[in-house]
Amino acid sequence: MNILYQIAPNLEALGSELVKCIGQTFQMLIISGVIAFVLGLFLGVLLIVTKSDGIMANPVLYKILDKIIDVIRSIPFIILMVLLIPVSRAIVGTGSGVTGSYVALIAGTVPFFARQIESVLADVDYGLVEASASMGFSPLEIIFSVYLKESIPGITRVTMITFVSLIGITAMAGAIGAGGLGDFAIRYGYQMGYRDMIWVTVIIILIIISVIQGVGNLIIRRTTH
């Protein structure tokens, strides 16, 4: 531990604050990530089945969803977060802090993830879809037994990519007061000039990303057939 304090001399005084910020980052990741996963998966499926050649073809609905997703994806996250402060206050009661960041984090992640899911599902062999339909499978059964079942490795891969991206935007959220490791790095590493704290933050983020990628790769290996 003494060696660690020699490398990062400010860690001893700021250790408890760092632990608190790590907890805030995980809180943002888990809550926002789970909600974004469910919504993004739903929208991705909806996009693939409502295409003109989809099993529930609805070109009007597809075009509306397609445009909304493209518009939201084109807005830089920091601007999106500021724009959604009134929405955050209406939904969660605050537009700042960890709780106030949830709406923006979800809004910034869902369009990206939905588009990734659409791409993964589009790679499913359409012959399997047609065969299932000819056997009398309902659209819901086709979604679960063909699209989702056959796409588990791909869905895992894009989920891993999305969570890594989410870590990045939680850091950006911290830069404007949402808490977490981004807030810690800005307050102590940049504003107070504790350069060692910036490196500690970067290392922690890299460790989190490595764990996510490791778990994702393990799931991909075990579900690929």
How crowded is residue 112: how many other Cβ atoms within 10 Å of its Cβ?
20
- Tokens, residue 215: 């778990």
Q: Is the pLDDT score of 37 beyond 60?
A: yes
pLDDT (tens digit per residue) in 159-176: 999 999 999 888 888 777
Return the amino acid letter for 49: V
Looking at residue 8, the DSSP 8-state letter turns out to be: S
pTM: 0.89
* Domains of the chain listed by start with CATH number: 16-223 (1.10.3720.10)
pLDDT (tens digit per residue) in 103-158: 999 999 999 999 999 999 999 988 899 899 889 899 899 999 999 998 999 999 99
pLDDT of residue 9: 77
Segment 90-113 mean pLDDT: 89
The answer to whether the beta carbons of residues 47 and 114 sit under 8 Å apart is yes
